[in-house]
Amino acid sequence: MNIARLILIFSSLCLFSLPAAAQIAIEKPWARATAPGARVAGGYMVIRNQGAAGDRLLSASSPAAAKVELHVHVNDNGVMKMREVPGYEVPAKGAFELKPGGAHLMFVDIKRPFKEGEKVPVKLKFEKAGELSAEFHVGRLGGSAPPKR
């Protein structure tokens, strides 16, 4: 066995031992500030998958809310409605975007209002990448883009 072949074997071993979490990046996680008395809040981000295999966001949780659901907006006879879904598919070498009016994390029964400038910790559980943590920066009430940071 020559050296070049040995190096090839070692480098492919290294590739396989790369933790799957390194393949998933959470970009610009943010949430909307809430109106007084609101029980829910929306969270948004771009989930980028640098890996060669697709992954799936299975669930999310946060100490700031009783639960965090994965929601999408669907057009039901001309009326936009939110619906909970069991996961978001993140394609290989691709991305899945959560944004106002589209897919979003729904913080349900928030413990206190989300105030602009705060950060909300969230744990995201992926089928392959496992658990990742992200800090959602709270932007304006009704804002449509991530806050500047």
Interface residues with Cu ion (CB under 5 A)?
A: 71, 82, 106
> What is the closest distance, in whole angstroms, from the C-beta atom of residue 72 to Cu ion in the complex?
8
Question: What does the DSSP 8-state code read for residue 134?
Answer: E
Strands 88-90 vs 40-49: parallel, antiparallel or unpaired: unpaired
Smallest Cα–Cα separation from 36: which of 122, 114, 116, 123? Answer: 114
> What is the closest distance, in whole angstroms, from the C-beta atom of residue 4 to Cu ion in the complex?
55
Residue with Cβ nearer Cu ion (84 or 135): 84
DSSP per position, 1-14: --HHHHHHHHHHHH
> What is the closest distance, in whole angstroms, from the C-beta atom of residue 66 to Cu ion in the complex?
14
Residue with Cβ nearer Cu ion (69 or 89): 69
Residue with Cβ nearer Cu ion (54 or 113): 113
